Every structure is written in structure tokens, then in C-alpha cells.
A and B are shown apart, each in its own frame.
Chain A
Amino acid sequence: MKNLELKNIVKSYGKNNVLNDISISINSGEFLVLVGPSGCGKSTLLRSIAGLDLPTSGSIIIDDRDVTKAPIAQREIAMVFQNYALYPHMTVYDNMAFSLKIKSRPKAEIEERIKEIASLLQINELLHRKPKELSGGQRQRVSLGRALAKRSPIILFDEPLSNLDAHLRQQMRIEIKKIHEIYKSTIVYVTHDQTEAMTMGDRIAILNKGNIIQVDTPSEIYKNPRNEFVARFIGSPEINLIEGKFKDSIFSTKGTKFTFPEMKYSEKISTLGIRPEDIKISDSGEQATIRFIENLGSTLLLYVDYHDVQLRIITGTAEYKIGSKINFSLNFDNIIYFDQSGERIVNA
């Protein structure tokens, strides 16, 4: 376990800035998830931490030691790659033992450690196989095992589950969390999948266009997103964003209006953020027409037209038909307010 601190990291390719002044402090034993859309710079940031890319400026501090320009081997970091990156000419055992052999660790220690990790990851049977004889899920387990065998205080994950199917992804999510609980390593985990971010991270750092937009716990980010981008990126199904203007307690939007319980709201409010689960289907209330229905198994996602406003509503699995009318009401307590520039207004 070690602290990891990134100070004013900038990475440029020519005139193109991929990372803009990134500063973040990751506590010892913390599981931090870097999440953002493709091209936001999250993998570049991870590679900078690993030493695979050198930042243009800024510093990377591991336990008060500046490792910005230190060789990769001196950083005591392990990494799990998106594409597994297993050595094809070696067996699973040799893949996992490779870093220890490079460090000339005693054979008995290597064997003991590999056996322990193989049992943990349930890959004992695969130790003598070559990577080409493994399935995608097994390869990613081996890749994880290789990182664990190093016993590094910091482990970096670069979208490790993105090549796996939904079932395996869920299984591996649980296993990675379990491993974190056992070894208490400091983890930096890159993903573009907000479900992974929400379920795995102690904290989430949201990146967009090379900037850190918000760093907070998953629930705080969900409840109090800093801006419209975060609100839209975190949460599935996506949040409803309705543009309009308040006058007293009336919010006017495309051809209709919502009446709010309080008498006065800030005139700066230009967008309402309403999570799909905060719109309740009721016997009374506003009337909307169902345009499309997505069956999510335990719930239904309804796409409804309320005048010219299109809303997403999460509801139970009752019978609904496309084109039929429903009544709904808003949970006003959970509505998030944004100003013209897309920033959240705290005291609306």
C-alpha cells in the first residue's frame, strides 16, 4: 500500500493537449476509478503513472518519492492490460512468475506465491497451459494473477474487463473487489463503463477532454454531479435533462410547464436534471404518451412524450403498450439544477 499523488500533470502531443493540469491524490489502499468517454485521456494518465509515457510536465509522487522520470522497474507498480498482454511463448505459470524471476527471487518463494494466487483466482488447472489454449475470461484472470504475483503496492488496471462478456464482467468485478479487500493494494482502475466505476470504486475521478471534472464517492457523484456532463455520464439509464426557465414556481419548457412546490427558484436555472427513477407513474399528475418500451428484465424503461419534452421513466414490469397514455409525477426533492454553462446550482 502506498500513496500516489499526481501534481499538475500535462501531456501534449505537439500542440494537442491530452492531459490538462491533472492533480489528484490517491490514498494508500484506495480503489480509485478513472472514468470518462473515449479519448478523454484516462489511459494516457494511467500510462504516465506506469512510466510507459512521460508527462510533458508535472510530477508523479509515490510515498513522497518523485518517480516522474524514474524507470518503470523502480516504480513498484503492476499493471493489468486491456488486451491481456500475456507472453504467448510461456505457460500460465511462467507468465505469472516472470516478474519474480526477473527479480531473481528464490524458486521456492515463486512457487509458493504462484500457487497461492492460482488458488485465489481458481486457475490451478491452467498453470501448464499456454495463453492460446485459454478463453478470454481465463486469460484475463492470468493477467490479473501476473499483476498480483508481483505484490506491488500499486496496481493499475487499463480497462481490464472491456473484452469480456456481460456475465464474465460481473464475475470479474466481484473478484477484483475481493482481491482488493485481501491485498489492500492501492488501485487505479481505468474504465469507460460507468457501471464498473459505480460498483468498484471507493472514489471515482471523472475525466473529459483531458480535465478532471469531479472526484468523489460513487453515491455523491450520482446524487450531486458537478455539471451536466457528469450527470449524463454517470447513471444508467441516462438522466433526463430538460431545458427551460423558472418564473416563480413555474418551470416553462418546450410547449409546456412544470409546477414546483416552492414559491421561488433561482433565475439562473436553465436545465433540470431528473433521474429516470425520480419520475413516478401515478393515477393522477401529468399525462404523457408512451413512445417506446425497453424491457430491462426486473424493470421497464419507458420513453414517453410529454408535449414536446421526451422523458425516460424507470418503472416496474406492469403491462404497458406503445401509444398508450400514462400519468406521472416528479420527485421534486431529487431534482438537480444546472445553469446556462451546465454547472450545477447548489442552492436553487
Chain B
Amino acid sequence: MIKKITSSIVILLACLFSIVPVLYVLSVSLRGDNAFGAKTLKIVTSTSNFDNYVKLFTETSFLTWLYNSLLVSFVVTLLGVTLAATSGYSLSRHKFKGKQFLLFSILTTQMFPATMLMLPFFIILSKLHLINNFLGLIIIYSSTALPFCIWQMKGYFDTIPKELEEAAKVDGCTNFQTFYKIILPMSLPALVITGLFSFMSSWSEYLVAAITLQDPALYTLPLGLKSFQSSLSTQWGLYAAGALIVSIPVVVLFIIISKFLVSGLTVGSVKG
């Protein structure tokens, strides 16, 4: 009983810890005074309204930023999942010269901090005329997210029994059929995680977007939200409203994919 009460209290505190900042941002977004601080702890006060939300959609380029972010994140996710799944599978299943070296080379790229890579990225994109171009941003996002995704997919494929592929081949599958009819459906949890990681890494990224995109029409959401901040003042109300809306797709995505995040998809396939 005491154990149950203790765990309930811990869970309650953890929930409060997570939700209070969100409620605070909600409170700021509903105020009309663009103020960051408040004299009351009330989330909804007598002066609360949805003006900031209306203004966000009618008087700013928020919808354009949203579209830009969705486009970039969608392409990065698609590329990330496709390339990580195919490369991870090759690295997991096939023997080839230099495999070990390649694996560690991929890992090595993760050791450099993002800030250190900014200048080389900028130079490369300039030379390729990809500044102010979504393609440049997509290439950078994909290349920075891929190493982790490849390792993650490889790790998952390593856990799938080889007998299943052999059974598929005996059943008449080609290598590619074996991959997409047997291996991919069994790898849903890993694919979902990889997809989520790719999406998140581009959805809320600011630094690379800031050096790559200079045309406001191409701004992604983080850049757009930052534009509410000027040297003299910050439109906190708009900023908070935008921040809340930005978080919605991620939350929705988490809810949708949570059912795929189950372990044991290979249970029953072979004798454990």
C-alpha cells in the first residue's frame, strides 16, 4: 500500500513537472499584453482571449512557415527511414570488404558537435548554390540524422533471426521481396523510432536553418518564431501561441505511433 502511494506521488510530481511549463506557455499565449511574466498564478484570467492565435494565422506568415517545416521534415523523414532501413539492412546482413571501417566511419561523424560543422556546411552549400534552398537544408538534416538512424536500424535487424529470411528464400522470395515482405513489416518499431527521430531533428532545428535560409518566405517554424523577437521587444503572446501550435504535430505523431512502439514483434517466429 505504502509502495503504491509513494509511486502515485512520484508519478504526480513527474506529471506536474512536465505539464507546468506547458500551462505557463498556454497562459502567456492567452494574455493580450505580450508580457512574459505575470502577477497571478491563474492560467486563464478575466482578460484571457484568443487574439494571439487569430493574429498568428491572419497577420503573420505562420501558415507559410508551417508548410515549409512540414515539407522539409516530411522529406527528411522519408529519406531518413528509406536510407537508414536499406543501409542498416546491408550492414546487418551482408559481408563486404571495409564493412567494419564503414560502420565506424558512420559512427565517427556523430562525434563532431553541430556548431563545428556550421562553417563547412555553409561553404559546401554556397558552392553548390543551395543557400536559400530547401534541398540544401534537407541534405544537411538528412546527413546529420542518418548515422544514428543507420546504427539504430542495423541494431534492430541484427535481432531478427536469419532463419526467417532463409524461410522466405525457400518460399521463393527474391532478396528484395524478403526485405520488404518479411523484414520491413517486422521492423515497424525501429522504423517508427527512426522516422520520429528524423522528423524531430528537422522539425525543431534552428541553427542550420538560420544559416541556410535567409529569405523570410522560406523560413521554417523555428526561424519564424524567432522573428517575433526584435532587438527592442519580443511578442511573447504570439511566440507562445506559435510554440504551442508547433508542438501539436509532434504530440499527435507520438500518439499515433505509440501503438507501434511495442517490443516483441518477432515473438513466435522461432523457438526462443
A contact residues vs B (CB 8 Å cutoff): 50-52, 72-73, 77-79, 81-89, 98-99, 102-103, 130-134, 136, 139, 146, 150, 163
Contact = CB atoms under 8 A, between A and B. Distances in A.
A193 to B, nearest CB: 16
B171 interface: yes
Interface in B27-83: none
Contacts of A133: 268
Given A78-B170, A89-B186, A98-B171, A132 B267 contact: yes
A12 B111 CA distance: 41
Contact of A87 (B167, B177, B264): B167
B163 A130 contact: no
Contacts, number: 82
Interface string B248-272: 0000000000000000111111110
A224 to B, nearest CB: 36
A259 to B, nearest CB: 53
A145 to B, nearest CB: 13
A78 B166 CA distance: 11
A139 B163 CA distance: 15
Interface of B: 161, 163-164, 166-174, 177, 182, 185-186, 264-271
Nearest to A163: B271
Contact of A77 (B163, B170, B264, B270): B170
B209 to A, nearest CB: 38
B268 A83 contact: no
Nearest to A50: B170
B173 to A, nearest CB: 6
B166 A102 contact: no
Given A73-B172, A102-B171, A85 B166 contact: yes
Contact of B169 (A52, A82, A131, A146): A52
Given A72-B169, A99-B171, A102-B172, A136 B271 contact: yes
A84 B163 CA distance: 8
Given A52-B169, A73-B169, A102-B171, A85 B268 contact: no
8 contacts: A72-B169, A72-B170, A73-B174, A84-B270, A86-B268, A87-B164, A87-B182, A99-B172
B267 A88 contact: yes
Given A85-B164, A88-B186, A131 B170 contact: no
Nearest to B160: A88
A132 B169 contact: no
Given A88-B186, A89-B186, A81 B166 contact: yes
A280 B173 CA distance: 58
Contacts of A77: 170
Contacts of B265: 88-89
A26 B269 CA distance: 31
Secondary structure class of chain B's binding surface, majority of residues = loop
Contact of B268 (A50, A98, A102, A131): A131
B66 to A, nearest CB: 35
A84 B172 contact: no
A73 B166 CA distance: 11
Contacts of B166: 50, 52, 79, 81, 85
B163 A81 contact: yes
Contact of A83 (B163, B168, B186): B163
A83 B271 contact: yes
A136 B269 CA distance: 11
A132 B266 CA distance: 8
Contacts of B163: 81, 83, 85
A73 B170 CA distance: 6
A79 B167 contact: yes
A85 B173 contact: no
B177 A102 contact: yes
A213 to B, nearest CB: 28
Contacts of A82: 271
Contact of A150 (B168, B169, B171): B171
A139 B267 CA distance: 12
Nearest to A142: B268
Given A85-B163, A87-B167, A87-B186, 9 more contacts: A50-B170, A52-B166, A52-B170, A73-B172, A81-B270, A83-B163, A88-B164, A136-B271, A139-B271
Q: Which 7 A-B pairs have the closest CB atoms?
A: A132-B268, A131-B268, A83-B270, A99-B171, A85-B163, A85-B167, A88-B269
Contacts of A136: 271
**A77, A78, A84 — most chain B CB neighbours (10 Å):** A84
A227 B270 CA distance: 37
Contacts of A73: 169, 172-174
Contacts of A134: 268
B111 to A, nearest CB: 35
B268 A81 contact: no
A249 B185 CA distance: 73
A163 B270 CA distance: 10
B171 A139 contact: no
A133 B269 CA distance: 11
B161 A83 contact: yes
Contacts of B177: 102
A85 B172 contact: no
A146 B269 CA distance: 13
A72 to B, nearest CB: 5
A245 B270 CA distance: 52
